[in-house]
Chains A and B, each alone.
Chain A
């Protein structure tokens, strides 16, 4: 949503599709918790401007850790990026606080929604505008916009967020992020604990936000099926590494993905390590 200067655009790298401009690139990062637990072992990914990229993988694969590394929320959990770089709009952003990153236009919607439960829905949304300096009128306009995307939030705007339904809380969390006028949203497991129909509803809104507001998304999901229908590109993580990536429709047709993540085929989930024709890709070496 922010206008780029020409100079800045010049040194923005390219994404996985040639000719597309990159908004976010993560280059071979390592994350260590508590100074000893190595959780990310060299993760690289890129998100093109205006894209929806899915980060897939089972429990504990490291999706949340990756998103938190990007948004600089690891420190509060005694985690640390020890290697690699993260660039947003071509600028290195690891050293920034989450506050500064939100001001640059990159915001995270945390796993498990994390609404401010004693605050009203409207106060929740307004708290998303904390970093803005463009005045009350602009903020009110965006509040209206959020209510247009999420009519249910308008109905519940005076309710304490803690007493609204899971779906409403997820909408509240996304709406709250929107209030910061982001260029990019890091969306962590939006489908968690929601009925299939609601999941669909949330993803439809993500798509609309992407198309109409130009917001880029990196979304972490266990729900591979839905995520790959809405995303343009996907990365699959396992045990702290990216083990496979590709265009969303390719991934959907990929036999291994079908077998292990889409629930097609026989023996349930196994590790990619056990699959003969799979070769781990080390993208950062390529």
Chain B
């Protein structure tokens, strides 16, 4: 009886009792959620246009953040460092296209996946070689990211919103909106969607695979830099940053590998749910630290019932 009460009644009683705290939990969940969504979007774009499950996305976050901080430490002004890091990510996209994707075109998916693991290993080695292996601090202040906190007082209680987190959310939302606009309103975006739908037909109308691949890997690089900055501002810049990208995996399982909407909704849903579960179920009942695995279990359960993910693109069939 007692256990059942703790599981099914008490959490909701607490939510109702302290709605301001519940809002705080939602906010924290949202912060991670939008970042998961952003990263998942990077995965989806690469998968749709080249059928590669990009294992390197996580390490790209670390690599971008390391490059940014490293350049700043070498004496470049903060925003110049951002610009140069973007150039580096573009260079990386071109190298990946030239050295990995182009020679492997038409190979089985598993080979491409292995190739992306190769890219990961290269980036780990290269990053350590150039910038050293020790942890760094994100140049939050130099970039002008505010570090104070805003206090809100809903329901006569209070919610604390860190300005760092607010920056993260705003930036992620802007990037996601920007990407959606790009995909839906520009010729290049249309070509990315076309390639995802039917690669052969895309080739036949003259869509250049090389151009699109460089573009989507560059987009993934921009996403990596953005997440690296805001997540690095919370947790420092180290190879542990990689972990945030792996949180995109359950998002992809939930949202479907090919669905842009799935990535966004799935990312936010997982961010919110894992936080709520941690606070109201995980900590009181399971000793906490459930955030590391909750999302994966959730995704597995969903997959049992819907193998294509919650938002997998509807497969159009007609004869």
Contacts and interface: CB of A to CB of B under 8 A. Distances in A.
Interface of A: 71, 73, 75-76, 78, 97-99, 101-103, 107-110, 114-119, 123-124, 126-131, 160, 162-163, 173, 176-177, 180
A118 B106 contact: no
A99 B201 contact: no
If over half of B's interface residues share one DSSP class (helix, strand or loop), that class is named, otherwise mixed; here it is helix
Given A116-B201, A117-B316, 16 more contacts: A76-B106, A98-B204, A102-B206, A115-B201, A116-B193, A117-B198, A127-B194, A127-B202, A127-B207, A130-B187, A130-B191, A130-B206, A131-B205, A162-B318, A163-B318, A173-B201
Interface string B162-196: 00000000000000000000000001001101101
B282 interface: no
Contacts of B202: 116, 127
Contacts of A71: 204
A76 B105 contact: yes
A119 B194 contact: yes
B10 interface: no
Contacts of B191: 127, 130
A78 B106 contact: yes
Contacts of A78: 106
- Which size class do B's interface residues fall under? 20 to 34
Contacts of B207: 99, 127, 130
A76 B203 contact: yes
Contact of B205 (A117, A127, A162, A163): A127
A103 B207 CA distance: 10
B199 interface: yes
Contacts of B187: 126, 129-130
A100 to B, nearest CB: 8
Nearest 7 A-B pairs (CB), nearest first? A102-B206, A162-B316, A114-B201, A116-B197, A131-B206, A99-B208, A127-B194
Contacts of A73: 200, 203-204
Nearest to A136: B187
Contacts of B105: 75-76
A166 B252 CA distance: 33
A76 B198 CA distance: 12
